[in-house]
Amino acid sequence: MPLVNISAAPETDDARRQYDFSHHQDHLEIIRAIEEQTGKKLPLHPIWPVGDHDAFVRAHQQMHTDMVQALELPNAADLQVGTPEAIDRDWFWRNYWEHEAARKKLRI
């Protein structure tokens, strides 16, 4: 799944649903590549479909923490937000940056 699908904040509800699916797929691809290249098996946390906001935030942050640690990436982003409205353009950018950093390190 191309990383470009998660490079910008979605503007509509339909675009958000598409973003959520692409975002989940990108996590799957990164997890698979980490296992193939390092032998580290990371857990897949339930982030799609997005339902309960608090559960999503916790699961998603854990996936990023696991990814950053497995790949020894610098400066894990804090992607925990208190309300759905707090997911703003900055959140989408920080999330994208970590996905991009992981993909560069994995060469995928």
pLDDT in tens, 5-57: 898 899 999 999 999 999 999 999 999 999 999 999 999 999 999 989 999 99
Q: What is the pLDDT of residues 63-89, one digit of tens each?
A: 999 999 999 998 788 999 888 888 888
Give 21-28's long-range contacts (Cβ < 8 A, gap of 24+): 21/48, 23/47, 23/48, 23/95, 24/48, 25/1, 26/1, 26/99, 27/63, 27/67
Where in the sequence is the domain holding 62, given as residue range(s)? 3-106
Residues with Cβ within 8 Å of 5's Cβ and at least 6 positions away in sequence, in order, are 18, 19, 22, 23, 26
Tally of structural domains, the chain: 1
CA 87 to chain CA mean position, Å: 13
Check: pTM over 0.85? Answer yes or no.
Answer: yes
